[in-house]
Amino acid sequence: NGKIALITGASSGIGAATATRLAAAGVTVGLAARRTDRLDALKADIAERGGNALAIEMDVVEPASVEAGVRTLVDACGSIDILVNNAGLMPLSDIDQLKTDEWHRMVDVNVKGLLNTTAAVLPQMIRQHSGHIFNTSSIAGRKIFKGLSVYCATKHAVTAFSDGLRMEIGQKHNIRVTCIQPGAVATELYDQITDPGYRQQMDDLARQMTFLQSADIADTILFALQAPGHVNVAELFVLPTEQGW
């Protein structure tokens, strides 16, 4: 459809699947992440299917890296119509283990990273007086799970920021904001769990129920994107049927 998207965390999982789906729908996709080998492979895959993609090395934690990436996409394509704030991580541990490095990393990527990309893209969308921002929060952005306290705190922040953003820029700047809240999706997110107990727990969970696939979330993003301009699909809870709520 000729639109331009910036997708963070596009090197794997939900981000990569979203890039593939959007590209198939005619969107030019800026693929942002740190692992450029993954981005180059995805870009080639998208091109093979007739789509357009750019690989953009970006660490969302670093404002300079984010600004440079956004500039690269705008210089190449002239606009940014869609921002998919998707980069994130989820190491699990109990609070009393005091794994403060992991806590800070989650705050840096899940919250500050999302603020960095939003700040870098917003001026462009405001100039255009149009845009659509997707924020990947989580079921953990509405509810608290044991072992996930800090992750839940970061995703509650994403949900709260999405609500505020929608309130402030929806009418004023004609920008839609959709908060995505997935349940369990089979991705590499779970590979970062270092705690053996929680690792086992997640493996057990995966045996007990059929997790969502990344493409399921990509489909819901496309659904919200393709809604008529006066419709803002504000929030999407998407759970495995067996996960419940």
Contact positions toward ligand NJP, by CB under 6 A?
8-9, 11-15, 33-35, 38, 58-61, 86-90, 109, 113, 136, 138-140, 182, 184-185, 187-189
d(CA 22, CA 47): 13
Q: Return the residue matching tokens 């995966």.
A: 206
**Closest approach of ligand NJP to the CB of residue 12, in Å:** 4
**Buried b / exposed e along 176-214 (16+ C-beta atoms within 10 A):** bbbbbbbbbbebebbeebebeebeeebeeeeeeeebbbb
Rounded distance between C-alpha atoms, residue 175 and residue 169, angstroms = 6
Q: Is 198 a catalytic residue?
A: no
Q: Which of 20, 54, 122, 151 is catalytic?
A: 151
Which residue lies nearer to ligand NJP by CB, 38 or 78?
Answer: 38
**Least distance between ligand NJP and beta carbon 54 (Å):** 15
Residue keyed to tokens 């606009």: 79
Q: Map residue 30 onto helix, strand or coil.
A: strand
| C-alpha separations of 22 from 26, 46, 108, 170, 242 in Å | 7, 10, 27, 22, 28
CB closer to ligand NJP, 9 vs 131: 9
CB 214, min distance to ligand NJP, A: 6
Kindly tell me which of 108 and 174 has the beta carbon lying closer to ligand NJP. Answer: 108
Q: Please list the alpha-helical segments (H only) found in 129-231.
A: 149-173, 196-208, 214-225
CB-nearer residue toward ligand NJP: 136 or 178: 136
Closest contact distance (angstroms) between CB of 228 and ligand NJP is 27
Catalytic residue numbers, as ranges:
151
